[in-house]
């Protein structure tokens, strides 16, 4: 469910798995206007749905609609997965943090969050999921940078240590000594300006990650690759966040395979 939702690649992912595991079911797009979200979610049990995913602009609003919010979703402050329970009640979950961490672990098996400080650019919903994922993986320090200083401060205060807010004007210097850099904003996406960030002080052995996957290589990732940093785009996060949702609905934890990745890449 989203508004709009036609851009979503989730049907490609979930229908691939449904076919692979020989399951009876289908994953469909449901364009739902914000004012109709509560009615749409309440209709899921009656229509025979096992659940749904939520995308913009529904992730925060759903917190007040579902019957139960998973503790992890409550910490992140957003719901991206709704599960219809056996009694017809709705449980809200968030799998984005899982998706982010497991995408890194699949592509970079030696990566560990405890390797050193992480710099996270952006303070929106995606940033919250990434930060919770990194905190739970043992990140010793997370330097949160956002154009809106107040929003970064509020978020750092909410999460507490190891998250600290850094003013936007100090973003270039904040890369000094970092073990990883994560862009969670839309800067660098097709049609958007590129992220205004100099990488001069970023260690060459730092991992540079961008949750954008259209394009597959943003200007940030291209600049990082040219100077020798390991880079990861956002496609892995998209693929891996779908795994626990699929398991919740169908009872099978699927794998992210080269065949699935290729099928999704072909749609980009």
Active site (catalytic) residues = 59
End-to-end C-alpha distance for the chain, whole angstroms: 20
Q: Is 24 exposed, middle or buried (0-12, 13-18, 19+ CB in 10 A)?
A: exposed
Mark 33-70 as b/e (b = at least 16 C-beta within 10 Å): eeeebeebbeebbeeebbbbbbbeebbeebbebbeebb
Secondary structure of 170-216 in the HEC alphabet? HCCHHHCCCCEEEECCCCCCCCCCCCCCCCCCCCCCCEEEECCCCCC
Based on its alpha-carbon atoms, the radius of gyration of the chain, rounded to whole angstroms, reads 19
Distance CA 31, CA 193 (A): 28
Distance CA 86, CA 78 (A): 23
């Amino acid at each position: 469910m989203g508004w709009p939702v036609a851009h979503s690649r989730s049907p490609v992912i979930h229908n691939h798995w449904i076919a692979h595991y020989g399951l009876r079911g289908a994953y469909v797009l449901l364009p739902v206007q914000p004012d109709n979200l509560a009615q749409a979610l309440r209709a899921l049990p009656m229509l025979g749905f096992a659940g749904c995913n939520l995308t913009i602009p529904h992730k925060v609003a759903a917190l007040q609609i579902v019957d139960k919010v998973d503790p992890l979703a409550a910490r992140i402050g957003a719901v991206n997965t709704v599960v219809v329970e056996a009694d017809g009640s709705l449980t809200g979950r968030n799998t984005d943090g899982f998706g982010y961490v497991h995408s890194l672990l699949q592509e970079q098996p030696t990566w560990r969050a405890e390797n050193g400080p992480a710099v996270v650019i952006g303070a929106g919903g995606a940033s919250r999921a990434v930060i919770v994922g990194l905190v739970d993986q043992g990140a010793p320090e997370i330097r949160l940078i956002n154009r809106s200083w107040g929003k970064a401060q509020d978020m750092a205060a909410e999460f507490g240590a190891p998250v600290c807010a850094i003013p936007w004007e100090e973003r270039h210097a904040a890369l000094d000594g970092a073990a990883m850099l994560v862009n969670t904003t839309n800067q660098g996406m097709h049609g958007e300006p590129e992220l205004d960030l100099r990488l001069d002080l970023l260690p060459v052995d730092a991992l540079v990650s961008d949750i954008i996957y259209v394009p597959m290589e943003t200007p940030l990732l291209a600049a990082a690759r040219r100077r020798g940093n390991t880079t990861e785009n956002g496609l892995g996060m998209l693929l891996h966040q779908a795994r626990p949702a699929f398991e919740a609905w169908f009872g099978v934890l699927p794998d992210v395979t080269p065949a699935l990745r290729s099928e999704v890449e072909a749609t980009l």
